[in-house]
Chains A and B, each alone.
Chain A
Amino acid sequence: MVLIDLVDVTKSYHLPGGEKLDAVSEITASLSKGETIAVTGRSGSGKSTLIHLLAGIDNPSQGLIRFDGRDISSLRDSERTILRRDAIGLVFQFFHLLPHLSVLQNVLLPCWIAGERDGAGKRRAEGLLHRVGLRGREHQTVEKLSGGEMQRVAICRALVRCPRLLLADEPTGNLDDETGLLVMEQLMSLVAEEGSTLLYVTHSAELAALADRKWTLHSGRLEAP
């Protein structure tokens, strides 16, 4: 069953000189539920733009993106925000954890944003942290964690509200190879357990091989597999 459908999606930016730059160009593709897809490509090939489009952070300049059959490119910003809150999880290369919150609070943040009561969310957050090996570290500040641990916290945060789609933008880009592989394995395993769909950006062929399918972007265009 198709979760995401991209139809002729283009995202253009206007440069100061009046030129137009297509960060993503005429992409037509789809993701099925429960599938894992690795997106590869050189720097500047449009990988992050694609993630932003799928997350509803950006809107395509042309084409349409359907999420579970619903055209998200026609949604208002507030509707896309709600969609992101309720159905999409995001993992970033640089973790983006909040230094003034504890490990557990960082994971709970999406629950707070969604107005969930602490009870169920907290149990789930603690469960996820235990599963990624951070039992007993819940009340530490994130500054005391290693890079790998920080990314695991970020993954827990992304999964805490059981998103249907998990988007990860170079989740291991800031980690050494060994830690990166470990984190990626944990991510894949959690996604599989949760039954989510995963699309992740990576430069590593080894990590890309872990996915069910691979998309390669070249100058904003999706190369044929």
Chain B
Amino acid sequence: MIRYGLISSIAQFRRGRSLFLLTVGGVALGVASILTIQIINQNAIGAFQGSVKAISGASDLTVMAVAGNLDETIIAEVLAVRGVRRAWPIHTVEVSLADDREQFLRVVATDLSALAGLPWDGPPPRFSEALSTPGWAAFSPSVLDRLGLSMGDRLLVSAGSRSAYLQVGAVVDFRKLNPLATSRFVLMDLAQAQGSISPPGEVEQVEIELEDDRSSDEVRAALQARLGCGVRITTTDERTGEARTLLGAFRLNLTVFSLISIFVGAFLIYSSTQATLVRRRRELGVLRTLGATRRQVTGLLLAEVILLGLLGVGVGIGIGYLAAKSMMAEVSATLSNIYLLEEIERIRIPARHFLLAIAVGVGGAVMGAIGPSWEISRRPPRSLLAAYPLHERIGGAAPRLFMAGIAVLPITFVLWSSSLRDWKPGGFLLGIAILIAVPLITPQLIRWFFGAIAVRSFGFRFGLVSIGQTLQATALPAAALALAVSMLVGITLMVGSFRQTVAIWVDSTAQADVYLSGESWRRARSDAPIPEDLVRAISSRKGVAGVERFRQFFGYTGSRKIAVIGTEFHLPGREERIALWRGDPLESMRRVRQEGAVYLSEPLSRKEGLSIGDDIILSCPSGPVSLPVAGLYYDYTSEGGAVVMDLSTMNRLFGAGPVHSLALYLNPGVDPDQFIHELGRDFEEHTLHVRNNALLRKEIFDIFDQTFAVTGILQIMALLVAACGVTLSLIVIARERINELALYRSLGSTRWQIFRVFLGKGAGIALVGIILGTVAGLGLAMVLIYVINLAWFGWTIAFHWPWSRLLTQIPLVLLVALLASLYPALRASRTPAGELSREDV
């Protein structure tokens, strides 16, 4: 049987090259979409982990402040704790290049003399030179290469409003320590950095190496007791875990979207298996008549499918790698802009991803094939040898499938609303129910759509009607296309609604005329301060009606890392510029100003279950502080959550510190662009990023669009898989119904007529796919917006119809389906009348 299987497989592949290519292509696209996302997800974490491990090196523990930075004198305290063998300070600062403020470097400032075994590229530098040369820094080979720098060259960078020259003194390659570490690391001595780009007397973290016989928990407890509650003591693995949690929702959503492609791909395999079975019905009948067991027949068919799956996996790994590489820039931008994590610079495919690809590709292929293979193996040999093909079966089951599909939706909804509403992944069940209902509903819907059309001519319209009469061949690609369209429409509606919601939110909150921050603020946040004298100078300029100052750093509530924002609420109309989700504008603002209460962002409120009247406990240098919640506000800047308080409250709790950005309100009649021009001229020596209201909005929407660029690739992949399905099913029809086509030809139909019949079939499939997919997509959008998004990200999104995008997408789907029909139509039209054989149609 194995021998026969091999001979038969080779013959099948030879006979049906296009079928074979489409099937392999479908599996490959399905595998690629999953793999792309998994590679990106893995490398997002890998980049962070690699960088953390490269910096922290052999350290066992890391001490960090609960908010802001540590006083550098803490090192003495740390070294005094029993069990600490070595401790060294580290301060990392994101700096932007003066020549290109879109490019950032990450300066790692440390005590160079305390470090041994750094991954120097070339001879180790002399430390006396590193300490005595102003701006001495060690760069990675790839940065030097990218910026065209060589030893001794100087590079102007800025951190906040400060700027400084770095001089290339050595080459260090952290990728020797960890291949996924960022190449953006620039190493310099802490003392030098403190004099130029980092705050004097402060360090970000202290790395600790323990004595060999000391337990980590014991020393950790001793350190916490000695250093007090103003510090956190972590390990590198714990920090990677935090990043993983932070990215959890982002990663999960991408994974789920990518799964839709494999779902669509499974339909394609099902279709192709059906095609193979219809074509080989008689062969299988003969095998059964000759004594082949059902198991042997099923085994034969599944072995072929596994082979196809493996070929698809091979191609899919290649596509997945290339797609991940092409999406690296967009995802990196999201990681750095939204999550403030490390960018992905290198793509690595871990061994387990190869196994995942095999599992997905072969598993999906077997999943699609097992039903039809099992079913045909159970048929009596006589029926396999009989004339009529299988297509009537699905026709008979269509009403029952429809009822089942309709029933799935309310049953799942009732289940979810009664007991799974508070279970975070519960929302996905609603989405899955829609995705299951679509293929079940499709056959009956096709019957209704096309059963009522009267045929009056042979051509396009005949093709439309005939798809209802060949349901086994047409229902599956229509369902697969509907799934792809539902994903397209669902994501478009969700992203469009989100974009419009953000637009409205920006309109209500960003009303200042000019926004100002350090050039490195976008990445560096609290390491990009604006000195107080500069703030005063700008505030007192002619034409300035009012200034709102913002101070921001990261803090903790429990183990959750959140943005802590301080601002002023004294300007008139301020209560209108905070978009409240819950709370009275005037009363909440009074409490924030007078009682030291705070606003919580909506995501934080949802994730921590806090509302007005509750208290939030913030980790402050003096220990945990309980602050009353006065209001909850809409915030779309981060999903991690934010707490906003009056600047005076912030200074009281966390100590005074510089602000990081300003919003300027100009007097009526003052031209913002002219104002910005004069500001740039008068403060040339400061590296400030100043933009008007319109530019700020543009920056916001650039970041927004970049964040959702990934979903666009997934949408395209799902659509391509569905298009493969349309082509495949029409080729199947053209091949399996060759007698029928020959009959048309012998009855006098022209090639052009048959071509139009097939275009009609393609258009009919597209029409069902578009109509059903749009309705299902609307349902998916509702689930994404009102359930999944709220549960995982915590953002309220108001529903909006992005008409222009939808109206371009729908004709595009139709066009794709028609293009997918062209090749089968051409093939079918070439059927000679002489193909009519002496057997029944």
Contact = CB atoms under 8 A, between A and B. Distances in A.
B696 interface: no
A95 B836 CA distance: 11
B840 A112 contact: no
Nearest to B739: A96
Contacts of A67: none
Given A52-B834, A100-B470, A118-B456, A110 B747 contact: yes
Q: Name the residue in B454, B753, B834, B838 with the highest tally of chain A Cβ atoms < 10 Å from its Cβ.
A: B838
Contacts of A118: 454, 456
A113 B747 contact: yes
A57 B834 CA distance: 6
Interface stretch (A24-32, A85-93, A178-186, A213-221): A85-93
The 10 closest A-B pairs by CB, nearest first: A85-B748, A100-B469, A112-B458, A113-B458, A57-B833, A113-B749, A84-B748, A96-B743, A110-B747, A57-B834
B351 to A, nearest CB: 50
A112 B753 CA distance: 10
Contact of B748 (A95, A96, A110): A110
Given A96-B836, A96-B840, A112 B455 contact: yes
Given A86-B748, A92-B836, A98 B743 contact: yes
A116 to B, nearest CB: 8
Contacts of B469: 100-101
Contact of B750 (A81, A95, A105, A110): A81
B749 A94 contact: no
Nearest to A56: B833
Interface string A99-112: 11100010001101
B457 interface: yes
A82 B748 contact: yes
B482 to A, nearest CB: 22
B462 interface: yes
Contacts of B388: 99, 143
Interface string B728-761: 0000000000011001111111110100000000
Given A78-B750, A117-B456, A118-B456, A112 B462 contact: yes
A115 B836 CA distance: 23
A192 interface: no
A157 B826 CA distance: 27
B566 to A, nearest CB: 73
Contacts of A90: 746-747
A128 interface: no
Contacts of A113: 458, 744, 747-749, 753
A96 B740 CA distance: 8
Interface string A22-42: 000000000000000000000
Contacts, number: 85
Contact of B838 (A94, A99, A157): A94
Interface in A50-74: 52, 55, 57-58
Nearest to B391: A100
> At the interface, is chain B mostly helix, strand, loop or mixed?
loop
A58 B834 contact: yes
Contacts of A157: 747
A209 interface: no
Contacts of B743: 96, 98
Contacts of A100: 466, 469-470
16 contacts: A52-B834, A57-B832, A83-B748, A92-B836, A95-B840, A96-B739, A96-B836, A96-B840, A98-B841, A109-B458, A110-B748, A113-B744, A113-B749, A115-B457, A115-B458, A118-B454
A115 B834 CA distance: 23
Interface string B815-837: 00000000000000000111010
A4 interface: no
Nearest to B468: A100
Given A109-B747, A118-B454, 14 more contacts: A52-B834, A55-B746, A55-B833, A57-B746, A57-B832, A77-B751, A81-B749, A90-B747, A92-B838, A93-B838, A95-B840, A105-B455, A113-B748, A118-B456
A90 to B, nearest CB: 6
B839 interface: yes
B595 to A, nearest CB: 77
A82 B750 contact: yes
Nearest to B840: A94
Contacts of B753: 113
A32 B833 CA distance: 26
Q: Name the residue in A92, A98, A100 with the highest tally of chain B Cβ atoms < 10 Å from its Cβ.
A: A100
Nearest to A100: B469
B473 to A, nearest CB: 11
A82 to B, nearest CB: 7
A52 to B, nearest CB: 6
Nearest to A87: B748
Given A58-B834, A100-B470, A85 B747 contact: yes
Interface string B660-687: 0000000000000000000000000000
A198 interface: no
A86 B747 CA distance: 9
Contacts of A155: none
A208 interface: no
Nearest to A88: B748
A97 interface: yes
A18 B839 CA distance: 29
Contacts of A96: 739, 743, 836, 840-841
Contacts of B840: 94-96
A21 interface: no
A114 interface: yes
A98 B839 CA distance: 12
A73 to B, nearest CB: 15
Interface in B253-288: none
A87 to B, nearest CB: 9
Contacts of B745: 57, 81
Q: Name the residue in B454, B739, B745 with the highest tally of chain A Cβ atoms < 10 Å from its Cβ.
A: B745
A97 B841 contact: yes
A109 B749 CA distance: 10
Interface string B432-458: 000000000000000000000011111
Contacts of B456: 112, 117-118
Contacts of B739: 96
A85 B745 CA distance: 9
Interface string B603-616: 00000000000000
Given A109-B458, A112-B458, A113-B458, A78 B751 contact: yes
Contacts of B841: 96-99
A94 B388 CA distance: 13
Interface in B108-163: none
B199 to A, nearest CB: 80
Given A58-B834, A98-B841, A113-B744, A85 B749 contact: yes
A65 to B, nearest CB: 16
Given A81-B745, A110-B747, A113-B749, A94 B457 contact: no
Contacts of B459: 115
Q: Name the residue in B455, B457, B747 with the highest tally of chain A Cβ atoms < 10 Å from its Cβ.
A: B747
Nearest to B740: A98
A103 to B, nearest CB: 14
A57 B832 CA distance: 8
Contacts of B747: 84-85, 90, 109-110, 113, 157
B372 to A, nearest CB: 20
Q: Name the residue in A81, A83, A84, A143 with the highest tally of chain B Cβ atoms < 10 Å from its Cβ.
A: A81
Contacts of B839: 94
Nearest to A121: B456
A171 to B, nearest CB: 13
A117 B456 CA distance: 6
Contacts of B746: 55, 57, 84, 90
A101 B462 CA distance: 11
Given A92-B836, A94-B840, A99-B388, A114 B466 contact: no
Contacts of B748: 81-86, 88, 110, 113-114
